[in-house]
Amino acid sequence: MDALRTDSVAYAPARRGYGGRVRAFGAELWADKARLRRVAMIGGVAVVLVVALALWLTGGRYVTTDDAYVRAAKLMVSTDVSGLVKDVDVREGQHVKKGQVLFRLDPRPFQIALDNAKAALAQAVQDVESTRATYKSTLGQLSAQQAQVNLAQITYDRYASLARANAIAPAQLDQARGTLQSARATLVSLKQQADVQLAKLNGNPDMPATQAPEYLKAQANVDEMQRQLNHSVVRAP
């Protein structure tokens, strides 16, 4: 019995030493597994980053989808003129550059409007020149009519003197008076016409046509029609 107890006592430390070695080995194995997991995780992230970079460089920058909405750079593009779309120069989802033509409206209505505006501008120039010529002609008529008034006044004064001396019939004096009044009325009418014509020239008979109000208005209309024609071609902003 003493020998048996001795053996048991001697064996007990041995078992405890073996258990410690097992636990130490298990701890080391667990630590190795943890390190392997960390390495695997880091390596996995690196692989994902490399694959993502490769996809981005080979076309992943352009977002495509068959049946879904995607979050990408989108911009509503329109124009401030109305018309019928004639040509579409891009397709849905296409990457476009700044200034690239997106679509075109039918240019014919805009071109017609521009041509009409240019015709109105040319007419404005012609109207100014015509007014200038008419004004100069009216001045000539005024000068001639003033001479007629002066002559009619002389005739009337002479007839009035003769009538006071009973040298002519009263009817002759009345006729001379009528002629003078008619000449004066014509002179007044011509002066009014000249004033109206001069007003159209802004009070300056030598005013360039490009400074006339009618011309400036017509030019503004030409500019607007040209702008609308330009805006019938819609480009990427």
Average pLDDT estimate for 223-230: 96
According to the model, what pLDDT value does residue 4 have? Answer: 39
Give the lowest-confidence range in 22-26, 111-115, 131-135.
Answer: 22-26
Measured CA to CA, the distance from residue 31 to residue 109 in angstroms comes to: 81
Instruction: Give the number of residues written for the chain.
Output: 237
Instruction: For residue 33, name the pLDDT band (cuts at 50, 70, 90).
Output: low
Task: State residue 29's pLDDT score.
Answer: 54
pLDDT at residue number 87: 87
- The residues spanned by each domain of the chain are 1-61, 108-235
Given a cut of 60, whether residue 145 has pLDDT beyond it is yes
pLDDT one-digit tens code per residue, 60-70: 444 443 444 44
Assign 199 a pLDDT band (cuts: 50, 70, 90).
very high
What per-residue confidence (pLDDT) applies to 38? 60
Domain 108-235 classification at class level: mainly alpha
| Percent of the chain scoring above 90 in pLDDT | 55
Closest by alpha carbon to 127, among 216, 220, 189?
A: 216
Which range has highest mean pLDDT (30-34, 41-45, 47-51, 161-165)? 161-165
149's CB contacts (< 8 A; 6+ apart) are: 180, 183, 184, 187
Look at residue 107 and tell me whether its pLDDT is greater than 60. Answer: yes
Residues 81-89, mean pLDDT to the nearest whole number: 88
Mean pLDDT of 189-204: 96
Q: Of 9-18, 98-107, 131-140, 182-191, where does mean pLDDT reach its minimum?
A: 9-18
